[in-house]
Amino acid sequence: MNPGGAKAEVEIELMNEKGETLTVPWVVEPGARSTAWINRYMPGCSVSARVSSPVPIICERALYFNFQGTRKGGHNSAGAPAPAPEWYLAEGFTAPNFDEYVLVQNPGNRPVRVEMTFMREGSGPVEQGFDVAPRSRFTLNLKSVPGLESAQVSTMVRAEGGDVICERAMYFDYGGNVGGHNSVGVTEPSKRWYLAEGYTAEGYDTYVLVQNPGETAAVVDLFFLRSDGHEVKRSFELPPASRKTVRVDDVPGFEAAEVSTEVRADRPVIAERAMYFDAQGRDGGHNSAGVPRPSQKWYLAEGYTGGSFDTYVLVMNPSDAPAVARTSFMRSDGHTSTRTDRLLPRSRLTIHVDAEPGFEQAEVSTLVEGVDGAGLIAERAVYFNYNEAWPGGHNSAGVTGPSKTWYFAEGYTGL
């Protein structure tokens, strides 16, 4: 997504697990969005990417798959604007019908040692270290780690010798809903997290996952907000080096609701949200890490409304005062459209992008702005039947500003 007024002459540098690299030039016109199909350039491998631009842009990655011939779907993530020495991943599950992978990208020119701490629900942590070659990507199947064969688990990644990028991908059969989801990690804990998306009706199940990477217990308060402004609080104590799973469908008043979540803790923690669903025959799941604070602007590069794709923008107002959201949609040909919506205090809004005039059959990026300084949270969810054969859905939180660089640890172009 190029939200600016100048053409973006982009370079997409691809790097795989063998240390092979390839740079692909790409152009994004001003006020437009563009899609690069990576399989065309580096086929048949696991691949990470670094996207560089002379002007600030927004970048996401979508991946559609048939995992081992049994789990069809797709997942998505916004990029990370820079490498970091630490990454945290609150979600993770390695039961027999779930497969979890941690993906690490080393974009530097030197080898990096990565130490991972796996924090289990109801058990002590497990630690293991790995070496990641320069300008390459590394994949870890968590079931290969002793003690993680069947666990609810959060992950902390620390790099020595250079900064890295870290994501997590999961593939599953959740009660017959098969698919996969993915999220980029977050680089530091926070006492506040916001999750705009959530739905518990019509065969949807929503979970909030909280990780405590600290050395002392944390008291955690969860605030669940409905679209009509109704709010419920739930609290618990989270032991050190552990994680907690909360099923939102079990919260009274939220058994069948559109819901956003605010997480408050007395010590820094990590929070994510996972959803599993059958969206009118498009079964699967999606996931997103929370964001630590509201913003007046949110950018969402991905979105598609053609064929059997439905795109939704979810907006959360965490304030005690009403707020107005201005949402701008941007097509790949540069056409734009804007709408405004009033949100109740402590509530959430759902926008079906397919219903916007001129965007019924379009590749679309979105900008959400809080009017008069209002601080909001925005995410985007897409439900699809990719190639009329791979049903599923994916989701990502927005990013608060453009960047000249974006990194993606995950990517696969094999069969």
In sequence order, what DSSP letters do the residues of 78-115 get, joined into one string? EPBSS-BSEEEE---B-STTEEEEEEEEE-SSS-EEEE
Task: Kindly tell me if the per-residue pLDDT of 198 is higher than 90.
Answer: yes
Judge if 159 and 241 occupy the same domain: yes
* pLDDT tens profile 245-296: 999 999 999 999 999 999 999 999 999 999 999 999 999 999 999 999 999 9
* pLDDT tens profile 122-166: 889 999 999 999 999 999 999 999 999 999 999 999 999 999 999
Judge if 278 and 295 occupy the same domain: yes
Residues 6+ apart with CB under 8 A from 347: 225, 226, 227, 228, 229, 260, 316, 317
Task: Kindly tell me if the per-residue pLDDT of 339 is higher than 80.
Answer: yes
Q: What is the pLDDT of residue 241?
A: 95
Judge if 51 and 91 occupy the same domain: no
Judge if 171 and 24 occupy the same domain: no
Judge if 374 and 394 occupy the same domain: yes
* pLDDT tens profile 223-243: 999 999 999 999 999 999 999
Judge if 177 and 40 occupy the same domain: no
Judge if 94 and 16 occupy the same domain: no
Judge if 159 and 31 occupy the same domain: no
Judge if 21 and 124 occupy the same domain: no
Say how many domains are in the chain: 2
Q: What's the domain range around 136?
A: 65-408
Judge if 90 and 181 occupy the same domain: yes
Judge if 237 and 181 occupy the same domain: yes
Judge if 116 and 224 occupy the same domain: yes
Residue 186 is assigned to a structural domain of this protein: yes
Residue 3 is assigned to a structural domain of this protein: no
Task: Kindly tell me if the per-residue pLDDT of 415 is higher than 90.
Answer: no
Mean pLDDT over 73-78 rounds to: 97
Residue 415 is assigned to a structural domain of this protein: no
Structure tokens at 208: 């909030």
3-state helix, strand, coil in the chain (%, to 5): 5, 60, 35
Last residue of a domain, one of 22, 42, 64: 64
Residue 222 is assigned to a structural domain of this protein: yes
